[in-house]
Structure formats: C-alpha cells, structure tokens
Structure 1
Amino acid sequence: MKDEHAATQGACPFRGTRIGGATGSEPQLDHWWPNRLKVELLHQDPVQANPFGAHHDYAEAFSKIDYDALKADIRSFLTSSVDWWPSDYGHYGPQMIRMAWHSAGTYRIADGRGGAGQGMQRFAPINSWWDNGNTDKSRRLLWPIKQKYGEGISWADLMVLTGNVALEIMGLKTFGYGAGRIDAWEADRATYWGPEGWNGKRPSEAPSGPLEGHPNQMVTRDIRWEGDVEEDYYDLENPLAASHQSLIYVDPEGPNGNGNPIDSARDIRETFARMAMNDEETVALIAGGHAFGKSHGMVTPDKIGPAPEGAPMSAMGMGWKNPEGPGFAQYTMTNGIEGSWTPEPTRWDNDYLTNLFAFEWEKTESPAGAVQWKPKDPGAPKTPDAHVDGQMNELMMMTSDIALKEDPAYRAICEKFLNDFDYFSDAFARAWYKLTHRDMGPKVRYMGPEVASEDLPWQDPIPALDHPVVDASDIEALKRKCLDTGLGVPALVSAAWSSAANYRDSDKRGGANGARVRLWPQNGWEVNRPAELSKVLDALETIQSEFNGTASGGKRISMADLIVLAGCAAVEKAAKDGGIDVEVPFVPGRMDASQEWTDETFEWLKPVSDGFRNYHNEQVGYNVAPEQIFLDRAMLLKLTAPEWTALSGGMKVLDQNWDGSKHGLFTDRPGVLSNDFFQVLTSPEYEWEPHDDREMMFNLKARASGETAFTATRCDLVFGANAQLRQVAEVYGANDGNERLVRDFVKAWHKVMMLDRFDAKEEREKVMSVC
C-alpha cells in the first residue's frame, strides 16, 4: 500500500546494504552505441550553465572596468612570487606567456576550432593534456585578479591580456590587444582532437582508472599520420593540426622523441601551417617565445601525479603533483626538458637566435631523461638558475629549436631576424597578435583601447558602411526586380545560401557580409553551382547598378545585401506558391569585400561535405559518415536540432542539390516551400533500399507496387532514422505541420543570413535569442 512505502514514511528510500554508483557512472549511450549521431551536441554550453544568465552583456561589463588599473595589477603580479608556486627568476612573465600561448595555440584552420576565444583551457580535455602541464597553477595564480574584476574580464580575455602584459614588461613593444572573448561554461564535447584516447593512448589502451597524461604514456604519432615523416610522403589527418594528441604543436624532442631536427622541421611546418602560420610567422613565434623563461624537467614523469581531471578531490582542480622536494621551484617538472635558452630569460632580446647560430650543439638528456641539446663550446655563456642564487647552468636547446637552424627555409628567416632585430621584433609582435586573436573573427568584435588600427588580411576585412541603406519601399521594389529576372527560386536561394552558409562560429569566419561569394576562391567552389551562380551575380549586378545610379538621398545597396535580399524574395515566393504568405526578415547594411583583402586561407572554408545540398566530395578520404560531418556543419552554423531539421527539409524541396540531382527531392512541386519532404520521409507507405552495402545512396520504393518513387542520401534519411531528429521531423510531417515548417524555416534562414552581422549587434542578438 502507498502509505506503507518507505519513501512516504520519511525513511531512507535506498533499501539494501549498498548504494549504487552516482548518476553518470553507469555505461553511457556512447558505450552501447559508439557510432550514434550525437544530436545533443547542437545544444552545448546552454544558458542554464551560465551563472550570469542569458542577457549578460559582457561588452558593457568590460567597459566599466578601469583598464589601466587592471594592467597595473597584472604588472605588479608578474614581478611577485608566492610560496606555494614561486616564480622563476622572480618573474611570472614567461610562465604567463606560455599559458596564453597554449590557450590560443589549439586553434586550427581546417574547422576554426580551438583557440583562446572561450577560455577552453579551463576544461577537459585541454586542461589535462601533458603539454599543458602546470598551466593549472598559472590560472590559479591569476585568481586574485580575476576575483577582483569579476564579470568585467573573462578568463579567456584575462589569460591573453596577461601574456601581452608579460611581453611588454619584459621589453617587447606589442602590436595591440583586443578583448571580447566570452567564456564557455562547460567542456567542449564536439571538437575532434584525434583518434587516440584523450591522454595520448590508443582507445584500446586507455586506462580505466585516473588519467595521468604524461609523455611516457604517449604512443607513436603514426595513428593520426599517413606515411612517415622520414619518407617523402606523410600527411596529417584532417581537421587535426597538432602532431600528436595532448600536444599544442609538436613534440619538442622530435617526432616520437627521435631527436632528429630535420624530421622535427617537417612536423613544425605542417602543424604551424594548419594553425594558419606561414614560415616567417612560425620562426618568429618560436624564436620570440623562446627568448623568455625556461623549460622544466627535473623529475622523471613516472613520478608525477595525475593530471587535473584525474586528481583526487583534495587537489581542488590542480594536478601533476610532484613528490620531489617541495614539488616546485628547482624541482619542477613540466615537459621533461630542463634549462633556459638565453642568459637573461626575462628580457626581450635576440640572444636566442644569437646562441643558436653562434655555437655547435650536441644531443644530451635532461634529468628527466628527455632529449635536449647543449653547446659543445665550454666557453658558451651560462644562464642563471631560476631559483638557486649564484648557480649558473648550461644553455639548452630543444630538437625543435635545432630544426630552425638545419632546415634551409627556416635558417634563411632566422638569419634575416639575426641581422635586423627591429624587423624580428615587429614580426614576433604581429605573429603573437595573430596567434592570440585568430579565432575572434572580424575586428568589429574587438574591444578596448589597445585594438590595433591596422586591418590585417587574416581578419577578413570588410569596408565600413559609408552610405544610407535601403528603406522598406526600396526593399520591396528590389525584391520584385530580383524575381523578374526569371532566374527562378532555386537559383536565387542557392546564391544567397552559398554566400551565407560557409560561416563557421568556431572562428567567426565566412558569412554573407562582404559577398565573398563573388570572389576567388568561393565563386569557383563546385558546391556553389558556379555556372548558375555567375548568371545570378550578373543579373544582380545589373540591378545594383541601376538602383545605385538612380536612388535618391545617396542610398546604395551592396552586392552583399542584394544577394541576401534576392534569396529572401525567393523564399517568400516559394512559401506563397505553397499557399502561405510570410515575410522573410531582411536587415541591410552589409558591405562588399575586395579580392585584395580576401586571405588565401579562405580556401579552408570550402566544405568537403554539405548535407544541406547533398554534397559529399568522394575524392576526400573520410573516416566518418556524411551525416556526422553534416552535424558538424550544423554546429558551426549554431543551429538547434529543430532549426537544422527545418532548414534541411526546406532546402531539399527548394531544389538545392549542388549537382542538380533529385536526391531528397520528395515532392512533385520543386521550388515550393512545403512540408512534402517530411510527409514522405515519415510515411510508412514506402521502404528504403540501399544501392549497396555502403548505404550511401537509397531508393524509396512504394510498398504496394515496388516501384521507385524517390532517391535519397544518408543526409536525407538521417532525419527519419535518428531517434531525436525523427521526433522533430514528425512535427513537420504532420497534417498540421506545413505552416509551422514554413515559419520555422524562415526564422532559421534569417538566422543563417545574420550569423556574421557583428556590425549589427542588436539585430543579430535578437535573431539569436528568438531562434
């Protein structure tokens, strides 16, 4: 009986002799179905996780702090020392440069993920990579400053700013600093960091207990490489950039610790290029960064305790406990290499390059057993010990340093820097600025008094708005002119989508603003239907020329605006042809970029797979199914599961396949915005027959007749096959779902068109909050 149940009597509801594991300790979905589509990744870092709430305005909070006072506090801290983690040489500057560098250095150009933009160094797995050893101490040392300024400075901004101030206080004239990085509030569950276990082991070798994450646990790098660094052919798996899991760039001892500088140079060139750096920027960063501080390797890694994520509760979020001596100062262990590169490790100078080229270097070992190099000449200058007064030590170089001397291209750059210290100083300052701001997107997002005035190609500059924009009557007239071109709904929709949908929120690149769809390389991407696109652009340029030549009051319309407006007009027509009148929102104010200011790295925004248009480049080697890449594209567009579903079904009936095929075109009225896709997808009157065992293509056959009615790809069928997506698809496929689909499609369409409108902050945020 109910009144006899223990839970109703105030008794303990857990009956028996022991209580089971806490929620989350049981096997998870990924354990049982490792290949399932993780749709929940679209809803990462929810507002519920943010203690500041949904409407917190970081820009406003930042504007209220005393920026000069903040920098003064940082300067004071840098030249201090605390007992629980004393500073090397009485200066925390080098340590803070490393923290900032490693926060930003996870960036990779292939998908724009990583970087300093959200302060992800605070969370797993990055906080426990062995290459980030002891960055937990750096952040904890900064807590008093973060505590003082609270919401006025994000962790992401504070880490980079501290690195900048460290450079300044040690003598470098920095290029500038822009705030505007907004903290994440949970670990990143979406970024693919490699096929290894997150601490560097192969999945089959990953331990079941605490993860320690030390160099001695690493397996060879071959699992993410094809070919061999010692052979003519080698290639790193996309979208990865680091040479090995748990590293920021490369193994400083050489590939697999082999101590070979030429092999190291090959790894350096590949990894830095994948992090958007050319050879000169690469040398500048390495030579500039190694002008400061020291490396730590006084204790063998097998003695060091687990990384933060595997540490006991009593460690309070800090890991790598060192049992030797006090566990720090002259006993510190970080990457296993011990020593400094220069005689004055807290001063900006050219001694790193001077020493590298002035002496011959021989291979040796650190106290921790790591490969490093020392000068052959006993008369080489010494470097002071970081903690023992009066003790002088030998200089040190890593294999990755010797690589700069032995690689011919790197050597030439080093020699240029050696002969012109001012040029080197400027090159390092610019490279550092790029490193720490690369994932922030357009400069309009930067905040603070030290934003560099110079526009840089990697920022994808767009001219500032310099004319009155079109009003409501102009917009309606221009819509009619676009539709009167006779180009048709599919062509106009395709042009607008091609312009906007290469946006990726990871590094805020791409999008419709700038109309780079007119320019190389985007105008030639096969996924954008270039022949059709060219016709659309020609017609719209004629409309633009006529309007700009006759409009009153100085009003003009850019091609960036007109391409989007034409797409909006086409969507409205497609909805009306289906019986629903709807107004597609349009916010003018975009400007047109130039070819000169379109960085060559823009080619990396080209999709290798795009499920919205059933594009899947089979020439690329894939390790994952197309729908997994499709999910990734939806994440980069900041779509929710309903938005992704609505856009996908709508794009199919609007005849948007890249090659003109009919896959997923589940309608007899292409070009009409309707829920036909979902009605067919969810109908039990059909069955799906794969073309082959790969299950990439399918025929839809009527059960009654056995005749093929439609064809489809995996990116079409996933909305019916995946349990979570099917629930959404059924809402749109219901008899009352047509109008809901149209209106949800319009909202999601407008969201995509506005993703890069950081110049129209209020309108953009309104769209983001509604969608």
Structure 2
Amino acid sequence: MAAPRFLCAVLISILATQAIQVAAKCPFHFGRARMDDDVGAILQAEPRRMLTSADVKAVNELNLDAVKADLKALFLDSKDWWPADFGNYGPLMIRMAWHCAGSYRTSDGRGGCDGARQRFDPERSWADNTSLDKARKLLWPIKEKYGSALSWGDLMILAGNTAIESMGGPILGFCAGRIDDADGSASEPLGPSLDQEMVAPCSVNGECEAPLGASTMELIYVNPEGPLGNPVPELSAPQIRDIFGRMAMNDSETVALVGGGHAFGKCHGACPTGPGPSPRQQPWDPWPGTCGNGTMKGKGENTFTSGFDGPWTTQPTKWDNEYYQNLLKYDWEVYMGPGGHHQWRPVKKDPSDPEELPDIIMLTADVALTRDPAYLEIAPLPPPPATLPDFKAVSKAIAKALRTASPALEGDLVGGKPYYGALFANLAYQCACSFRQTDYTGGCNGARIRFSPQKDWPNNVAMDRVLAVLEPIKASFPTLTYSDLIVLAGSNALTDAKAKGIRFCPGRSDADPNEPPAPVYPPRTMNNKIAQLMDNGIVMGLDMREMVAIQARLRSPSQQRRLGFSGSWTNDASKLTNEYFRVLLDNDWVNVTSSAGQLEMKAVGKEGIYMTPTDLAIKWDAVLSAIAQEFATDATAFYTAFASAWNKMMIADRFKGPTANECPS
C-alpha cells in the first residue's frame, strides 16, 4: 500500500500549510486588514470588512498548550443536548475547521477562516454548515475563558488541529493572529446574495464556474453525490480537480485532504425529511431536526447534516490510512441511502473471500479518486534568493535604456526620439497588479510575468518584449533578479517622469521556470466598470484615492495600439502629471470601436484622444469623480496618492514572517 502511505505523508504538509493556513510564516497581519506598528500602511483594511478589536499583547501571551489541553478534555465530554459520535467531538471540530477554511477561493482571495464569518449569515446557514452551530456552542466556554486572547477564527482552526492530533494524527503548526469580523458582510460575495450575483453569478447551480469557489451554492466544494446529483465518479473527478484548483490545491493535496478528513467521523443523513429550518429561517432554534422523538429528536442517530449516512472507516476516531485501503480493497456499488441520496457500499473483489464486509460507505466524490491516477503530483520548492547587485550602477544602466532604441521592441516617440519609460512602468505595474491582499497571492516577487499563464494574459501582450529591452542590463549584473529589475525600471521611469516620493526596496527572488504555475490571477474584468474598478482596488489593497491615482500612470501610446486600441489620451508618455484628470473631466466622450475591435472612448470633437471605459468609470461614479476633481486641481494631492499606491503595490508581497514586511513603509 505504498500509495496510501505516500498520501498520508502529503496530508501532513497540506494540513500544515494550505487547507487551514497554519504555516510558520502565515502573514495574517493580525487580521490581514489591520495596520500595526510593523506593517504601517503597506496593507490596509478591506473596506467591506467590519472588524472587532485585536488584543495583540494578549495573543502573544496566550498559552496555547493550555488551550489545547482544554480542547482535548472537551472532545471526550459528551453532552446530552448534542451527543458526540463515538464519544468524541474531534471529528465534528475537524469538519467545522475545514468548512471555515474551505470557503477560500483563489479567484478574488475571498473566503477562508480569517474573520470567522461562519458564525454569521450567509455562511452559518449554508447547507454544508448544517448543525455547526452546535460545534461553536461546545467551544463557547473555552472562548469565554480566554477572551480577547483567542479569537473565534483562531479557536476554530486550533480546535481542528488539536482534534487531528488527539486522534493520533500529525502534530500541526499553528499561527495565531486572526481577527474576527463583526458581521458576515465580507462573505456576501460568496453567496447566495445580491452581491454574489453581481460579482460572481452562477447560471446553473451545481455547475457554478469561477470566480465562485464551489460547484454548488452553499457547499464547500463539490456535490459529493456527483455533479448535479448524478452518481457517476468519472464525471465527478474532473469537477473535483477544477473546484480544488480554485482553492489553490494541486492533485496530491486534494487527495490527501479528502482522505485525511474522511479518516475521521461519519456522515449524518438517516432522516429523509432533513434538519429543519436554518439559522436564517429560525435563529432561535436552528436545525432542530425532524426525525426522532423526545430528547433525541434531531440528534444522535436522528441527526441530519449532509443527507448521507455512515462512516468511511471502521475506526472513525483513529488516524490511519484505512480510508485509502478501503477505496482500493473493495469494489463499490451505488445505492440509495436512508436520507434519499446516492451513496456507495463495498463489494468484494473476490466473491469467495470469507472476510465479512465492513459497515462503511463512500460517496461519489470518494470513489472518483479511484478513477483518476493523476492525483499523485507534488510541486517543488522555489530556489533561495541571490546576492544583491550594485543598484546605483543598475539605475545608471536603466537611465540609458530609457532613451536608447532597442531591436527588441519599438518604443514610444517623444520629441522624435525613442522613449521606453511608459513601457517600463507598465511592465512593473502589470507584474505587481496581480497581488491580492485578500489571500496574499500574486505580486511581482518571483517575476512570474515571464512565464505562462501570466505572460499570456491579454493585458500583458508584448511585455516579454519590454523585458527583452532590459535583458542586456540583466546580463551585465548576474546577481540581479528579474523581479528587482522590473520594479526598479518601472520606479526609475516614474522618477524620470517627475513623479515624487517613489521608493525602491531590493531583495526579491525569481521563480524557477520549471516549477508548476503559481495560483496567480489578473485583476478581474466586469461589464460594470465602476464595480470593476472598485472591487479590484479592494482586492489589491488600494483605497479609492490610490486606485483613482494609479489610473493616471504613464500610458504608452504604442502599447495601447498593441492592446488593440486606437491610441492614448496623450502622445507624451514621458511626463506623469494630473493632466489625465483634466482631460477626463473636461471632455465629452463617445463610444467607438477601434479597428481591432476594442471598445474605447473618443473625445468628442477632438482627434487622437482616447480613453478606455475603465477610465470613464471614474467620471461616471460620484465618489470617484470627486476624487478626480481634487486631483485635477491639486497636483500635490495627486502625486502623494500616486506614490502611496505605487509604493504599496511594489512591496505588498514582500513578507517577513507572520506580521512584518521586508521593506520600510
């Protein structure tokens, strides 16, 4: 059984790093949305998150061993009001922690257990979270005991970790510092809600596409019965890969997480009439159960959570690889379970085998793992960073390259001479704009803009050729990383264009071209350009003033034409000024289509002046327009906001341990 042993080893890695975010260097920044002494203004609050206060001193002084001891005692103290399966609440706590963390999605970085929004609607009323209010009720005495030192987000994750450890699983690392949200508003885009319909609509529930994380609304990942309830493992396997990929998990991590989680506990569904009203429908007595009578109504053998019923293993409170052994040892046949859903029971591969069949089940999503051998891949680690070069000498070389024609790419013409400053600035912006403060992915550290899929994004057309203009500089400085070169070239170009307050912090490393693609995504494109501008600003960690200011960055007319537009709002790409806002506000605009088929905005009565619909979103929105009016009349305000936005973007991914940044704010 080499494969199951391998997968159990992988589970230690995935549970310790990916599934529930407990790596030794987990950059929570105490809620990832709080400005503290170490971080300053590098990352700021996501405006839609309403946070409770954080007692950093108390968190640092918290005795985690004492909390874990209390948790282990709780797991074995079964309560009459909610009896523990097999006398152990550990499996329930693992389900709670996974469902808290498993809402994370890579498309926009939303979800996850930071904030502990499983306590609020919409998450608390999701079908997949049925009766998890009981798990949190069990934890309340511990939360009450430790007060502000132990947030709900930290407690729920630690409870899951400790449950695995208490049942013989690997000892997992833990990083405290999550700040609880005051309400569930940050989960509204996860749905179901009007926010979700605008940001991430689902046309067919059960086949929801990215940017949604799950295939089915109110579920954590896929429908375990099979796509749209169709119990065909061969159809389930590709959907599992797609959905777990939306959580940034590769195949081995997926199989390890599923098998490790299903080593414990059981499904509950021996009640065809369901769990009763949800917390949203009946907050005073949510999910009371509809089967059974008296004190055992809706609990014990009458519990309904998923609608399936039975354990995956014969020892559901013990860590082992029996789940994988069972998958491979038996054939599996589908049948209708007591809750009215398809589930699978074991069948002997050899009918003459005298061994009695165990009383276990599998779900379609479990059986699917046996139909796809590709779930055994693992990603390598990135190489260490190189020694820093002489950046003064590098800057001199960049200054020369700004105005020297290159065979790699024709630059813009300024005063009849070649100029690459706007192209260098655009390369740095495109490299950095993939950063998301919602989940700390993306950014220019690693310079993955050199590789697919990032180099193939539509907005990155010809960026490889801009980088080729800088290639002679890279060759002259062997210890210079591409990521430092890209950021320095863009920053120096802005300073050359009279920007004020632009800073550079060296020390980035480059990704290995042979490593698997990282989960990095471009800023989202929406039909509603106002929503696009605002939501991308939130995800990138920019406030509205910064997002408006950064729109006025150097714009290359030649690059606009490569993108399929007719031109730019200016033919002089060598100066960063607030003229952008005067042109935007002082002109009337009409929709036109470029010869390449791009929708763009043309200034009425003027030739050769073009902007994009995203530019016009600033004028169309009252709040953004007011900011633009200020910048149009106050150059100092514009330069200050622009420098704040640019500097923040260029160092946002420079993490140093749990709470700090490599670069000064």
Q: Out of 97, 102, 105, which is 2:99 matched to? A: 102
Pair 1:360–1:223, CA change in 2 (3 A): closer
Structure 1 residue 625 displacement after superposition: 4.0
- Which residue number in structure 2 is paired with residue 640 of structure 1? 543
Question: How many Å separate the matches in 2 of 1:713 and 1:491?
Answer: 18
Task: Quote the residue 2:368 is aligned against.
Answer: 403
Residue 345 of structure 2 aligns to a residue whose secondary structure is strand
Query: For residues 136-193 of structure 1, what are the alpha-carbon distances to aligned partners after superposition, in whole Å with 9 as ceiling and x for unaligned?
Result: 2212222222233333333323222221221122122256444454443432447744
Which stretches in structure 1 are left out of the alignment for 5+ residues? Answer: 1-40, 204-219, 226-235, 384-393, 414-426, 432-455, 549-556, 577-581, 610-621
8 Å CA contact 2:49, 2:186 repeated in 1: no
Distance 1:670 1:82, change over 3 A: same
2:287 is matched with which residue: 320, 324, 332?
Answer: 320
Whether 1:730 aligns to 2:629 is: yes
**1:124 aligned residue (121, 124, 129):** 121
Query: Following superposition of structure 1 onto structure 2, how do residues 688-703 of structure 1 map, counting pairs within 5 Å?
Result: 688-691=590-593, 696-702=599-605
Structure 2 Cα separation of the partners of residues 569 and 67 of structure 1: 47
- Match of residue 158, structure 2, among 148, 157, 161: 161
Structure 1 Cα separation of the partners of residues 561 and 454 of structure 2: 14
> RCO higher in 1 or 2 (8 Å CA, sep ≥ 6)?
2
The within-5 A match list for 1:215-226 is 222-223=204-205, 225=207
Alignment match, 1:170: 167
SS at 1:374's partner residue? Answer: strand
Q: How does 1:463-612 map to 2 (within 5 A)?
A: 463=384, 478-487=394-403, 488-519=420-451, 521-523=453-455, 525=457, 527-528=459-460, 529-542=462-475, 544-545=477-478, 558-575=481-498, 582-596=500-514, 598-602=515-519, 604-606=520-522, 609=525
The answer to whether the Cα contact below 8 Å between 2:427 and 2:463 also exists between their aligned partners in 1 is no
Contact 2:206 2:223 in 1 (8 A): no
Distance, in Å, in 1 between the alignment partners of 2:560 and 2:133 is: 48
Contact kept in structure 1, 2:546 and 2:642, CA below 8 Å: yes
Segment drifting more, 508-517 vs 658-667? 658-667
Q: Distance in 2 between matches of 1:287 and 1:663?
A: 54
* Aligned-pair CA distance for 1:745: 0.6
Shift of 1:135: 1.7
The Cα shift of 1:43 comes to: 1.9
- State the alpha-carbon separation in 1 of the partners of residues 473 and 282 from structure 2: 61
C-alpha contact 2:505 2:663 (8 A) present in aligned 1: no
Distance 1:51 1:273, change over 3 A: closer
Provide closer, same or farther for how the CA distance between residues 271 and 198 of structure 1 changes in structure 2, counting only shifts above 3 A: farther
Pick from 47, 64, 68 the counterpart of residue 65 of structure 2.
Answer: 68
Q: Counterpart in 2 of 1:115?
A: 112
Q: Could you report, residue by residue, the CA deviation over 1:20-45 in whole angstroms, capped at 9, with x for unpaired residues? A: xxxxxxxxxxxxxxxxxxxxx96212
CA drift of 1:133 comes to 0.9
1:360–1:462 distance in 2 versus 1, CA, 3 Å: closer
Tell me the SS of whatever aligns to 2:270.
coil
Larger Rg: 1
SS at match of 1:265: helix
Aligned to 2:653: 756
RMSD (Å), alpha carbons:
3.7
Contact kept? 1:301, 1:336, Cα under 8 Å:
no
Q: Which amino acid aligns with 2:537?
A: A
1:329 corresponds in structure 2 to: 300
- Give 3-state SS (helix, strand or coil) of 2:642's partner: helix
Q: What SS does the corresponding residue of 1:101 show, helix, strand or coil?
A: helix
Q: Could you tell me whether the CA contact under 8 Å between 1:249 and 1:272 is conserved in 2?
A: yes
Q: Quick one: distance in 2 between partners of 1:663 and 1:649?
A: 18
Measured after TM superposition, the shift of residue 720 of structure 1 is 0.5
Give 2:229's aligned residue.
257
CA distance in 2, matches of 1:62, 1:76: 22
**Does 2:313 match 1:342?**
yes
1:617-668 superposed Cα distances (whole Å, 9 cap, x missing partner): xxxxx7x445544443322211111111011123448987483666683335
Q: 1:522 to 1:366 in 2, by over 3 A?
A: closer
* Identical columns (%): 35
Q: Map Cα deviations across residues 487-510 of structure 1 (whole Å, 9 max, x no partner).
A: 532122123223322212222112
* 2:314 maps to 1:311: no
Seen in structure 2, the aligned counterparts of structure 1 residues 282 and 323 have a Cα distance that, compared at 3 Å, is same
Change (3 A) 1:267 1:669: closer
2:588 to 686, 701, 713: 686
- The verdict on how the C-alpha distance between 1:594 and 1:494 changes in structure 2, with shifts beyond 3 A counting, is same
Query: SS of 1:484's equivalent?
Result: helix
In structure 1, the residue matched to 2:246 is: 274
Alpha-carbon distance between aligned partners in 1 of 2:234 and 2:181, rounded to the nearest angstrom: 39
- 1:185-200 aligned within 5 A: 185-189=182-186, 192-193=189-190
Provide closer, same or farther for how the CA distance between residues 399 and 588 of structure 1 changes in structure 2, counting only shifts above 3 A: closer
The normalised TM-score by structure 1 is: 0.68
